[in-house]
Amino acid sequence: METVLSGIRPTGNLHLGNYFGAVQNFIKMQESYNCFFFIADWHSLTTHPTPQDLHNNVTQILAEYLACGIDPEKATLYVQSEVPEIAELYLLLNMNAYVGELERTTTFKDKVRAQPENVNAGLLTYPVLQTADIIIHKATKVPVGKDQEQNVEIARKYARRFNQMYNVECFPEPMPFNFGENLVKIPGLDGSGKMGKSEGNGIFLYEDAESIRKKVMRAVTDAGPTIPNSEVSEPIQNLFTIMKSVSKPETLQFFTEAYANCTIRYGDLKKQLAEDIIAFTSPFKQRIDDIKANKKYLHDVVNLGTQKARESASKTLQEVRNIIGFKQW
């Protein structure tokens, strides 16, 4: 059985793009793959969250994953910082990673431009920690979007470098994995590309109804069609794409036909879309609240995930230590 690994930083709630683009497929994958899903709290330290925010954010993402249907009995669901073996492998890999190559990575350069006042060493070696996350479980598939494929390629390079340096076949080279025909891309409400946490264009699974209505009513549109059967503009197609995921087929059909015959009223479209999103997300919000209130269940889930993740990680780390030459006295 192939091993799949995916992590998420606890820096914001899951949005519709996360759910339809990734989590929905994770739920299917846990039935047929050896899945490791983790909350990357060490990675979030590059932005210096407060201690209270860090813990609350980890709890929120954990509850959201569980509410979406990730099964801790079928998949290994864990918190990164509960697995110290990752930190040791990160240290060992850093000895074979070079400053020049890390400075050239796209993600590092993007972060430097975005936050020039906070260019810390954690940002520079971020890809090394990502590599440790992946290869400590000898994962072969890493579900990522196109914008993250370079990070998987870096992990492949460091796995290959270790194997060649010590003339071993310790680590398989992980491959980026997208869901092909099952990949659903949910656009943002601002008419520009995909939905994101930081772009301010997302609808979250854990969001109150009034906030959803306000966001949808502010969504970018156009002046409206003037010629029958004209091509749908990108901002309106974005709204139709979201509607396809959360609304009934006949609802989408009604508005696409209204666009085609130039009778569409964008106010009506947005009101209907907002109510359909609320109807879709409300059960998730309720489940998230119920799970967060059950401290014992969360504690048990984290303990189980930690046990399973450390069992896998310790085997790999012991193998690595022996290869490098750290022998037991």
Give the residue numbers marked as catalytic: 111, 194, 197
DSSP label of 303: H
CA 135, 136, 138, 144 dihedral sign is negative
Strands lying side by side in the sheet with 76-79: 76-79, 34-39, 3-8, 141-143, 175-177
**Could you tell me which of 139, 155, 144 has the C-alpha nearest to residue 178?**
144
Q: Which residues touch 214 (CB under 8 Å, ≥6 apart)?
A: none
**Could you tell me which of 106, 154, 104 has the C-alpha nearest to residue 128?**
154
**Could you tell me which of 99, 97, 100 has the C-alpha nearest to residue 165?**
97
DSSP label of 23: I
Tell me phi and psi for residue 163, to 5 degrees.
Answer: -60, -45
CB atoms within 10 A of CB 253: 11
Q: Which residues touch 153 (CB under 8 Å, ≥6 apart)?
A: 176
Burial of 135 (0-12, 13-18, 19+ CB in 10 A): buried
Contact 55, 326 (CB under 8 A): no
Three-class secondary structure of residue 94 per DSSP: helix
**Distance in angstroms (rounded) separating the CA atoms of residues 51 and 319:** 34
What single string gives the DSSP state of each residue in 196-216? -TTTT---BSS--HHHHHHHH
